[in-house]
A and B are shown apart, each in its own frame.
Chain A
Amino acid sequence: MEWKQSGPWGACSRIRFAVWAAILATPLILFAVAGEELSGRSEAAFLQPLDEARQVEHVANRLTFGPNANVVASLRAIGIQKWIELQMHPERIPESKLLEEKLAAYPALRMSTAELAMEYPNRQYLRAVSRGTGELPSDPAEREKVETLAKIQAERERGFLKQAKATGQAQRRGNSSGTQAGDGRSVNGMSETNQLAALASMTQEERVAAIRALPPAERKALVESVRPALTVQTSLVAGKILRAAYSERQLEELMTDFWFNHFNVSVKKEADRYYSIPYERDVIRKNAFGKFEDLLVATAESPAMLYYLDNFQSVSPDARFRRRAMRAPRMPRGLNENYARELMELHTLGVGGGYTQKDVTEVARCFTGWTIDRRTPGGGFRFVPQLHDNKSKTVLGKKIDAGGMEDGLRVLSMLAHHPSTAKFISTKLAERFVADQPPASLVDAMSATFLRTGGDIREVLRTMFFSKEFLSEGAYRAKVKQPFEMIVSAVRALDADIVQPLALARALDRLGQPLYRKQEPTGYSALNSEWVNSAALVERMNLALGLASNQVRGVRWDEIPATGQATVELARAEWLLPVNESTVASIAKAIDDPAQEQLRQFRGATEAQIWAGLLLGSPEFQRH
């Protein structure tokens, strides 16, 4: 999000300070209420059914990335029951043409890891090619491409050397930050190869200026070839934003988000940049409504997870001599327990799910030899028997002595059908879709379904969505939107056109939920307390104002209502936002205040846009 610089924001006046002091003096009782709000809703509230109108509002808000005219119309046309059933079968829903058009611009999203590695080679590989140690593709065209990129990479790095030589010059230039392209340092109109050669000879500042001066399409192509690995990451991010905003298969996107977060990996960990595209597409989305065991096995075998939680380098401690026989240059030392621990703590049983440190070690032994095929770039899962610990193990009191890859598969099967897993997954789903503290009755029913159906995710969801607790006062507007949900719901409410998804990704960084960059294997918390804090709230307000006044570059809405009143009506009818009268009164008061001339002229926005911005930033819009 780019903001034009506004005027200096001076210190608060004495009057404003006095107002603040008064507000701060609010009686203690107010905070007692806050305590109740934070500690959750009473069990009784989950027995109180919602009336029909609010049922539609609730479903439209909770089971999509935000209601829009389409969702509301289809919910009203076929009814809640059928709509939910349909959403649980995404393959029966024709996908949005608009989405398909937008996604076409990101070919990386359709590639395998091997193709990604070839098409967008990373720096280490290119360096190896330059040194003559990197294995080249056999296809002549691919080979030429890799060699060219390796040459560019080498030139760039030599460029740094030149830069180092020019240190003296750099110091003389001292105040040359104003250096602009156009004074003989422009690369406009050159062929790409020449552009790269020219850029390699420039200083950092000149290079940035020259790239900035290029037409947008050319600039994109150039940046992609100079920073191929980054393109993979931006494609991933763009894909997620566009799907959430435009997909007709909203529940599938929500579940993909849920499971990716549950089985979190992070693109911050080197190679996971490449693995994450196939991981989300072929492991997560594909199994989002299937059997939990299939999903679990798919994650266990995914290079994304093997790499993220280090299992790829976990080997039997007594495999040392065999490793030498394999002539692997840098082989790991021995057992690594990271995957085993998180598998039980975060993926299946949950903390307190009945396992011990001894179980962690034993499970780690079961997964020795589960690794990534590193013989070619972009290799997939590979089980290496020589690295596996074939001795007998005991996991959760059960003997595992099948040997080979079967050891790990047995552990996964055992965990996937464990009662603790049923409860842990059910609780997590209910926390995300119902309330921070879901009633025990609901979680029990979901766990029972989980165990009865052998972990059929769709059945567990059906139990949840068609429960009385889901359509109750207790669940109604009980959840604060996560930043990603807030941003996407705002875009959907405005029916905005996302031309450049990365603008929204940057806004998400500021809201504290950078996409695919959650470092910890825990994933993001779905609990309200995680997302309600002062700094993030300020950013939400700013983002709301920015989006509504078309100040977020790369995102536009045009169907702007004529008046403030019309905006409120739109919010109530299509965003299904229960706007409070006090909010309407506050906005009206602020806008009608003769002293608020500046607000009415906020960056050329119409009055209706200001209303929209204040509504999107209101407490009402932060919940769903």
Chain B
Amino acid sequence: MNSRRAFLRGAALTMFGAGSAPLWLGRAAQGMGASPNRRKVLVAIFQRGAADGLNIVVPHGERDYYKLRPTLAIPAPSRGASPGEAALDLDGFFGLHPSLASLKPLWDARELAIVNAVGSPDPTRSHFDAQDYMEAGTPGVKSTRDGWLNRALVDEDVHPVSPVRAVAMGSALPRILRGPEPAVAIDRLEDFQVRSRQAEGAFSSIYGDSADALLRNTGKEAFDAIRIVQRVSAQTARADEKYPNGPLARSLRQIAALIKADVGLEVAFADVGGWDHHVNEVGVQPATGQLANLLRQYGDALAAFRRDLGDRFEDVVLVTMSEFGRTARENGTRGTDHGHANLMFVMGGPVAGGKVYGDWPGLGDGQLYERRDLAVTTDFRDVLGELISEHLGNRDRTGLFPGYTVSPARFRRLYSAS
């Protein structure tokens, strides 16, 4: 937070505070219909632990897939296969893991796109480093101070800035959202408050009367943000969309509530762990076991989020990522080890869905990266760059990913706002 920004935010609060609700309070404060200030929202989901992309979007048209994974491979879709055991065909070559059945309708409605063989050019197979690079948006460079999701925010000198403009679900602000733009980490909306309403009143007057300008102003912002979030939280409690269990569903439900309330949310982040399946990735059948269970929760959560948003899905793009993929070949313990390229889901109203994007490098001996992993044919920054540029309207070509120029020539054209 620099002084100029603090000043502008202050000025915005002042302008919109006098006698009426701040503009970004929109629907939440005024109980109106569509807010003139409703924002485009980018939601980023991080699958920590390196999800096994090859078993999530199954290349059932690739013979080498079945050769490399005798125990793990998901059977190709066929008339004979009983439902739930084989891949759900997408385009004759790729198929969804059967646990992701709830995403199939999104695919059919062209709201879900898949980018395959996507990832970071950095060769690291350390979870820590690869996550760090993917969140900073600077593969190979550790000294980057901020995360790309923070840099994705348009510098707001003209609009009033909402205190809940950038939200990460969780207790600590993740790397991806750190940076100069104010961002908050919220674990549960209903907990974002002073634990006693009366103490909040006392604190509010202590801070309001303080001669300490820095803390007095931040105190104001805090009480302001509390008020907004509590209002939204009350609405969440009434939401009727059914979400499955699990941490991702909980996060998405709250993000959806913030979006629907028009409180000025622009970027949101949630992560979901448990993807590091070195051992027993599958159960007795390839389509059962740990990965299958995790994917069911995952797909059901994403599908519930989409239903929950209703027509607001038009303003939303959700993108998923995981630090790297897993070995093309299964290991000796019914699992897979750290690999290279992975895939990204991109879903939302303005997404040109129903298509698998990216060049498929193949799984043949000469085609694998370092003779073991799926090769990267799309840099993850080109996917994110397109979404940030086209959806959020941030056309900063050089500052977004330091050391890498965002070039529309490399966009996969998976965004079609029309």
Residues of A within 8 A of B (CB): 3, 6, 8-12, 16-17, 20-21, 23-28, 30-39, 127, 131, 157, 160-161, 164-165, 167, 170, 266, 268-270, 309-310, 333, 338, 341-342, 345-346, 480, 506, 509-510, 512, 514, 519-522, 528-529, 532-535, 537-538, 541-542, 545-546, 580, 582-583, 585-587, 589-591, 596, 598-599, 602-603, 610, 613-614, 617-620, 622-623
Residues of chain A with a CB closer than 8 A to B355's CB: none
Q: Which residue of B lies closest to A10 (CB)?
A: B234
Name the contact of B213 in the complex, choosing from A30, A164, A338 (C-beta under 8 A).
Answer: A30
Given that A510-B187, A586-B202, A586-B205 are contacting pairs, would A30 and B2 also be in contact in the complex, using a CB cutoff of 8 Å? no
Q: Once the chains bind, are A21 and B17 in contact (CB under 8 Å)?
A: yes
Q: Once the chains bind, are A27 and B14 in contact (CB under 8 Å)?
A: yes
Check if B240 is an interface residue, CB within 8 A of chain A.
no
**Closest Cβ of chain B: how far from A165's Cβ, in Å?**
6
Q: Which residue of A lies closest to B203 (CB)?
A: A541
Name the contact of A38 in the complex, choosing from B6, B142, B211 (C-beta under 8 A).
Answer: B6
Known contacts A24-B13, A25-B19, A514-B172; 6 further A-B pairs (Cβ under 8 A): A17-B227, A310-B129, A509-B172, A510-B187, A542-B195, A619-B212
Q: Once the chains bind, are B288 and A167 in contact (CB under 8 Å)?
A: yes
Residues of chain B with a CB closer than 8 A to A36's CB: 213
Residues of chain B with a CB closer than 8 A to A591's CB: 202
Q: Once the chains bind, are B234 and A342 in contact (CB under 8 Å)?
A: no
Residues of chain A with a CB closer than 8 A to B77's CB: none
Residues of chain B with a CB closer than 8 A to A622's CB: 215
21 A-B pairs within 8 Å (CB atoms) are namely: A11-B231, A12-B227, A16-B227, A24-B17, A34-B7, A38-B6, A131-B332, A157-B280, A160-B280, A341-B142, A520-B143, A533-B218, A537-B222, A538-B194, A542-B195, A580-B209, A582-B206, A586-B209, A602-B199, A617-B199, A617-B203
User: A618–B203 Cα gap in the complex (Å)?
Assistant: 7
Q: Which residue of A lies closest to B212 (CB)?
A: A619
Check if B22 is an interface residue, CB within 8 A of chain A.
yes
Q: Once the chains bind, are A623 and B288 in contact (CB under 8 Å)?
A: no
User: A590–B197 Cα gap in the complex (Å)?
Assistant: 11
**Closest Cβ of chain A: how far from B346's Cβ, in Å?**
26
Name the contact of A535 in the complex, choosing from B22, B184, B333 (C-beta under 8 A).
Answer: B184
Residues of chain A with a CB closer than 8 A to B223's CB: 20
User: A30–B218 Cα gap in the complex (Å)?
Assistant: 12
Classify chain B: how many residues form its interface, as a range.
35 or more
User: A173–B283 Cα gap in the complex (Å)?
Assistant: 18
Given that A20-B224, A30-B217, A587-B202 are contacting pairs, would A521 and B143 also be in contact in the complex, using a CB cutoff of 8 Å? yes
Residues of chain A with a CB closer than 8 A to B126's CB: 269-270
Q: Once the chains bind, are B218 and A618 in contact (CB under 8 Å)?
A: no
**Closest Cβ of chain A: how far from B295's Cβ, in Å?**
12
Q: Once the chains bind, are A167 and B214 in contact (CB under 8 Å)?
A: no
Name the contact of A533 in the complex, choosing from B184, B196, B237 (C-beta under 8 A).
Answer: B184
Given that A35-B6, A342-B143 are contacting pairs, would A512 and B194 also be in contact in the complex, using a CB cutoff of 8 Å? no
Name the contact of B198 in the complex, choosing from A157, A520, A598 (C-beta under 8 A).
Answer: A598
**Closest Cβ of chain B: how far from A349's Cβ, in Å?**
13
Q: Once the chains bind, are A6 and B171 in contact (CB under 8 Å)?
A: no
Residues of B within 8 A of A (CB): 1-4, 6-7, 10-11, 13-14, 16-22, 29, 123, 126-129, 132, 142-145, 163, 171-173, 175, 182, 184-187, 190, 192-203, 205-227, 230-231, 233-234, 237, 278-280, 282-284, 288-290, 292-293, 332-334
Residues of chain B with a CB closer than 8 A to A599's CB: 196, 198-199, 201-202
Which among A30, A509, A519, A546 has the greatest number of chain B C-beta atoms within 10 A?
A519
Residues of chain A with a CB closer than 8 A to B227's CB: 12, 16-17, 20
User: A47–B224 Cα gap in the complex (Å)?
Assistant: 39
Q: Which residue of B lies closest to A156 (CB)?
A: B279
Q: Once the chains bind, are A522 and B198 in contact (CB under 8 Å)?
A: no
Given that A17-B29, A164-B290, A538-B192 are contacting pairs, would A24 and B199 also be in contact in the complex, using a CB cutoff of 8 Å? no
Residues of chain A with a CB closer than 8 A to B225's CB: 534-535, 538
Residues of chain A with a CB closer than 8 A to B128's CB: 266, 268-270, 519
User: A167–B284 Cα gap in the complex (Å)?
Assistant: 10
**Closest Cβ of chain B: how far from A247's Cβ, in Å?**
26
User: A38–B288 Cα gap in the complex (Å)?
Assistant: 56
Residues of chain A with a CB closer than 8 A to B209's CB: 580, 582-583, 585-586
**Closest Cβ of chain B: how far from A548's Cβ, in Å?**
10
Q: Once the chains bind, are A21 and B132 in contact (CB under 8 Å)?
A: no
Residues of chain B with a CB closer than 8 A to A38's CB: 1-3, 6, 214
**Closest Cβ of chain A: how far from B227's Cβ, in Å?**
5
Name the contact of A34 in the complex, choosing from B6, B200, B207 (C-beta under 8 A).
Answer: B6
Q: Once the chains bind, are B18 and A24 in contact (CB under 8 Å)?
A: yes
User: A191–B142 Cα gap in the complex (Å)?
Assistant: 47
Q: Which residue of B lies closest to A477 (CB)?
A: B212
Given that A534-B184, A535-B222 are contacting pairs, would A613 and B210 also be in contact in the complex, using a CB cutoff of 8 Å? no
**Closest Cβ of chain B: how far from A363's Cβ, in Å?**
15
Q: Considering the complex of A and B, which 3 residue pairs feature the smallest CB-CB distances, nearest first?
A: A24-B17, A164-B283, A599-B198
Q: Which residue of A lies closest to B370 (CB)?
A: A333
Residues of chain B with a CB closer than 8 A to A20's CB: 17, 223-224, 227
Q: Once the chains bind, are B233 and A9 in contact (CB under 8 Å)?
A: yes
User: A32–B282 Cα gap in the complex (Å)?
Assistant: 61
User: A165–B283 Cα gap in the complex (Å)?
Assistant: 6
Q: Once the chains bind, are A28 and B202 in contact (CB under 8 Å)?
A: no
Residues of chain B with a CB closer than 8 A to A23's CB: 17, 208, 220
Which among A3, A533, A598 has the greatest number of chain B C-beta atoms within 10 A?
A533
User: A24–B190 Cα gap in the complex (Å)?
Assistant: 23
**Closest Cβ of chain B: how far from A287's Cβ, in Å?**
24
Q: Once the chains bind, are A25 and B17 in contact (CB under 8 Å)?
A: yes
User: A586–B192 Cα gap in the complex (Å)?
Assistant: 23
User: A516–B199 Cα gap in the complex (Å)?
Assistant: 32
Residues of chain B with a CB closer than 8 A to A603's CB: 196
Residues of chain A with a CB closer than 8 A to B4's CB: 35
Which among B175, B210, B237, B332 has the greatest number of chain A C-beta atoms within 10 A?
B210
Q: Which residue of B lies closest to A510 (CB)?
A: B171
